[in-house]
């Protein structure tokens, strides 16, 4: 089968590789019908893996963890899934450790992820998924792949960002970052009833998309976003600030833009340590929460997509055949052609 193989830093190839086989009887094999490239895949490609809790992908392995597919084969012990089911997955948690029993799946002590560490990824024609009964989610067959492609990661993360912000009706929410996760956070924030969403980025075309989706754009390349947010909020700052970038400047802006007693939600993946103004907390009394892909909300997100309360199809600005994955990575990495997300069709 064809697959996108990581050969080492800055080296990516579409290669012919053996099809995956059932290794444990709790595995399934999925025929991937659509996958996409994530910002974390770019981190792997550039040798910038942020570190624990998962090891980086080994050279020679298949990339990718955002996908939709159809079950092709099930192990003998799989009870909840059958051949032909439409599925996706996110973090592959174990379901039995103390964190899983507490339903804090991203904190699982035995976490795995397709396209990280030893486990081959989803940018391929077929994919093996372990622990299928525990952490594979069924999708309604009526929903097109494009509608549900992002529940596995970007949309789950965006929803979690909004949840961590504990948005109340009437709040002003500022989202730093208008990439796929930032845009998902803006869409999800709306579900909690804020009066307005302010979107901050330096990239014009991404700000334009945020504005089209109803946010007030601030170009951080042209204006001081903290001063702008203060100006829009009677000098106080936003009730809720969401960080969806993961770089030092943005993180510091978020601390400046949140009002006293407000909430800061942090989902941007940083590839190195960032020093924060910890000492200010004693005067500002802000609450900081954060985390990564929160798979728990996939069932709720599917319902919201079915009810047309969430629509993320617009994020797919490019759809290429898997053969053209290297080109897709370049477009996504260099932010060419006003790209938001590149979907790969096997
Ligand atoms: Zn991802
Ligand atoms: Zn666990």
> Among the residues of the chain, which ranges form H helices?
39-45, 98-101, 132-135, 145-148, 154-164, 180-190, 204-212, 225-232, 248-257, 281-284, 298-306, 325-333
Q: Is the pLDDT of residue 51 over 70?
A: no
Per-residue pLDDT of 317-337, as tens digits, reads 999 999 999 999 999 999 999
Q: Give the Å distance between the CA of 262 and the centre of ligand 2.
A: 32
What integer pLDDT is reported at residue 49 of this predicted model? 77
Q: What is the pLDDT confidence band of residue 199, given thresholds at 50, 70 and 90?
A: very high
Work out the angle at residue 61's Cα, subtended by the Cα atoms of residues 317 and 88, and round it to the nearest 5 degrees: 50
Query: What angle do helix axes 248-257 and 225-232 make, rounded to 10 degrees?
Result: 20
Cis? peptide before 53, omega within 30° of 0: yes
Per-residue pLDDT of 226-281, as tens digits, reads 999 999 999 999 999 999 999 999 999 999 999 999 999 999 988 888 999 999 99
| Rounded CA separation 346/340 (Å) | 20
Q: Give the Å distance between the CA of 215 and the centre of ligand 2.
A: 37
Length of the chain: 346
DSSP annotation of 62 reads: E
Instruction: Please give the model's pTM, rounded to 2 decimal places.
Output: 0.96
Per-residue pLDDT of 98-153, as tens digits, reads 999 999 999 999 999 999 888 999 999 999 999 999 999 999 999 999 999 999 99
| Rounded CA separation 193/128 (Å) | 40
Q: Give the Å distance between the CA of 332 and the centre of ligand 1.
A: 13
Q: Give the Å distance between the CA of 139 and the centre of ligand 1.
A: 19
> How many percent of the chain have pLDDT more than 70?
99
Q: Give the Å distance between the CA of 102 and the centre of ligand 2.
A: 9
Q: Give the Å distance between the CA of 114 and the centre of ligand 2.
A: 16
Per-residue pLDDT of 11-42, as tens digits, reads 999 999 999 999 999 999 999 999 999 998 99
Six token digits for residue 183? 């845009």
Q: Give the Å distance between the CA of 295 and the centre of ligand 2.
A: 12
> Ligand nearest 109 Cα, by number?
2
Residue 27 and residue 81 in contact, taking contact as beta carbons nearer than 8 Å? no
Per-residue pLDDT of 82-93, as tens digits, reads 999 999 999 999
CA end-to-end distance (rounded Å), the chain: 10
> Ligand nearest 157 Cα, by number?
1
Six token digits for residue 267? 């989902």
């Amino acid at each position: 089968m064809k697959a996108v193989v990581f050969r080492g830093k800055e080296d990516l190839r579409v290669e012919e590789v053996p099809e995956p086989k059932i290794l444990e009887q709790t595995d399934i094999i999925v025929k991937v019908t659509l996958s996409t490239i994530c910002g974390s895949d770019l981190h792997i490609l550039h040798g910038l893996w942020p570190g624990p809790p998962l090891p980086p992908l080994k050279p020679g392995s298949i990339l990718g963890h955002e996908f939709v597919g159809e079950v092709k084969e099930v192990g003998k012990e799989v009870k909840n899934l059958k051949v032909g089911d439409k599925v996706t997955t996110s973090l592959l948690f174990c379901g039995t450790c103390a964190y899983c029993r507490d339903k804090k799946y991203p904190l699982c002590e035995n976490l795995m992820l397709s396209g990280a560490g030893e486990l081959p990824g989803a940018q391929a024609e077929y994919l093996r998924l372990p622990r299928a009964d525990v952490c594979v989610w069924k999708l309604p067959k009526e929903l097109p792949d494009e509608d549900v492609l992002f529940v596995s990661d970007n949309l789950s993360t965006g929803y979690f960002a909004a949840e961590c912000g504990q948005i109340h009706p009437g709040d002003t929410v500022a989202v730093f970052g208008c990439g796929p996760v930032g845009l998902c956070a803006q869409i999800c924030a709306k579900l909690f009833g804020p009066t307005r969403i302010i979107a901050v980025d330096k990239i014009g075309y991404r700000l334009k998309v945020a504005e089209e989706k109803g946010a007030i754009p601030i170009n951080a390349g042209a204006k001081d976003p903290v001063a702008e947010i203060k100006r829009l909020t009677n000098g106080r700052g936003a009730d809720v600030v969401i960080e969806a970038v993961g770089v030092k400047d943005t993180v510091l802006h978020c601390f400046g833009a949140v009002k006293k007693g407000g909430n800061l939600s942090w989902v941007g993946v940083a590839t190195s340590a960032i020093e924060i103004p910890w000492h200010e907390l004693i005067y500002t009394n802000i609450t900081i929460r954060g985390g990564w892909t929160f798979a728990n909300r996939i069932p709720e997100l599917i319902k919201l997509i079915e009810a047309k309360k969430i629509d993320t199809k617009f994020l797919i600005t490019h759809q290429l055949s898997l053969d053209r994955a290297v080109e897709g990575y370049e477009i996504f990495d260099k932010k060419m052609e006003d790209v938001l997300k590149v979907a790969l069709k096997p």
